[in-house]
Structure 1
Amino acid sequence: MIRRSLGRAAVALTLAAAVLTGCADDGDPDPAAESSGPTDTGSATPYLPVPDGVELTPQGTHLKVGDTAVVAYEPRQDLVGVLELTVTKLEETTTRKTMSAWQLTPQQEASTPYFVHVAAKNVGETDLSRRPVPLYAVNEDDLLLEATPFASSFEPCPSTPLPKGFTPGAEADVCLVYLAPDHGSLEAVSFRPEETFDPIYWTGDVEKYVPPKPANSKKKNKR
């Protein structure tokens, strides 16, 4: 497990994010605090080198669902990625409702799944194809939770990395699954690439997940 933290004094723990396999067919700020709009408490000085004309969102910025942040991170040593990220929707569901056909550990069965929808754009100069989206969920204990991947297609929320061909200028809509331990709550979505970074995070209303209605079958032509 990877241990990270939201605030300087918080101790963070991720839920075991083992790849799920199908068994059927197939410190400091309170992220729950209300805000009327984007605010920032950090410096505007870039924390990583970015292309000319790119302005990074300051560390410590508090955003609402629907707001956009421009962030930089190092997916590997000597490689800087720059993303424009917009958290567009937060959804809550249950393992029984959406994951009954998947093999879950007892710990995963005792969790509450959350779907986080994100619009991403590559505004840097590096190819970020197949790289994980660098976002964490934050629960009621200020623990950072990693997204849970799936071994095969999970229609309600694929929870996949950035797509192939995610080169400079590319855009994608992604949905990430986070499993909050012990039926916990989702308090925020956080960008925190390393321990000393003052996190940027999004808060907002969490909606109940509603499965899409099946498409109506075409009516047979009358003779």
Structure 2
Amino acid sequence: MIPRLLGPSLALLLSAGLLAGCSGSDPGSDSSGEKSGGASASASETPYLPVPDGVTLTPQGTHLEVGDQGIVAYEPRQDEVGVLDLTVTKLEQTTTKKTLSAWQLTDAQQKSTPYFVHVKVKNVGESDLGGRRVPLYVVNEDNLLLESTPFASSFEACPSTALPKPFGPGATADVCLVYLAPDHGQLEAVSFRPEETFDPIIWTGEITKYVPPKPEKKKKKKQ
């Protein structure tokens, strides 16, 4: 049986100016109006969601680089708050022909550009987030948010799975998420934007070509 993807990436239209950030009067902005990097917030800043004592959220609108840490909060459901320490560690670009040729793809998926986003995740909240997908999107050249694409079976190059069960306070995981940019599109940024009015926290950085790992050489048996 030919393996298949569970569905196309979800694209959500964003308001203009996503990558530009807000005015220079916002917290975290320098005199030029651009957001400063880093994950720490002002001690006097009120968190946008309740978080455990000792946890400082990365301010909304912060621009980070690949390798930077961001601490974010979101509501997986109405009565629950999840708090995650996220570090985007690597961005990779590939092609459907190179890595997805064995998969059953729709016409739209065949015309996409696959990207692999590697993320270190730590649960620094109080909720068990096991089985939930990491709440990160990518932004393409048309300012669309693209949701990560799950697979119906194992995909060794980049599993793109939900967080393991259980995933309670203090749990950590290294995850790789697959995003399909429509019409051979480009990845411009990785975005944390849990709802429309949230000023997104984004990661940008170098995108490298995906190189499959070399198969391990079998050791010769001694005669």
Bin for the TM-score computed over the shorter chain = 0.7 to 0.9
**Equivalents in 1 of 2:35, 2:199: separation in Å?**
20
Deviations 1:5-30 (A, max 9, x none): 44xx33xxxxxxxxxxxxxxxx3434
In the TM superposition, 1:48-59 aligns within 5 A as 48-59=49-60
**Equivalents in 1 of 2:214, 2:198: separation in Å?**
42
Deviations 1:170-190 (A, max 9, x none): 000000000000101111000
Per the alignment, residue 155 of structure 2 pairs with 154
Between 1:159-168 and 1:86-95, the stretch displaced more is 159-168
Deviations 1:146-193 (A, max 9, x none): 000000000000000111121100000000000000101111000000
* SS of structure 2 residue aligned to 1:102: coil
Does structure 1 residue 138 correspond to structure 2 residue 128?
Answer: no
Amino acid corresponding to residue 178 of structure 2 in structure 1: V
In the TM superposition, 1:161-172 aligns within 5 A as 161-172=162-173
**Equivalents in 1 of 2:99, 2:175: separation in Å?**
18
* SS of structure 2 residue aligned to 1:96: helix
Amino acid corresponding to residue 121 of structure 1 in structure 2: K
Per the alignment, residue 85 of structure 1 pairs with 86
Contact 2:10 2:146 in 1 (8 A): no
Task: Normalising by structure 1, report the TM-score.
Answer: 0.85
Task: Normalising by structure 2, report the TM-score.
Answer: 0.85
Does structure 1 residue 38 correspond to structure 2 residue 46?
Answer: no
Can you give the 5+ residue segments of structure 2 that lack an aligned partner in the other structure? 1-8, 22-33
Amino acid corresponding to residue 164 of structure 1 in structure 2: K
Of all paired residues, the percent bearing the same amino acid is: 72
Q: State the number of aligned residues.
A: 200
Amino acid corresponding to residue 178 of structure 1 in structure 2: Y
* SS of structure 1 residue aligned to 2:109: helix
RMSD: 2.0
**Equivalents in 1 of 2:20, 2:73: separation in Å?**
23
Can you give the 5+ residue segments of structure 1 that lack an aligned partner in the other structure? 11-26
Per the alignment, residue 109 of structure 1 pairs with 110
**Equivalents in 1 of 2:76, 2:11: separation in Å?**
17
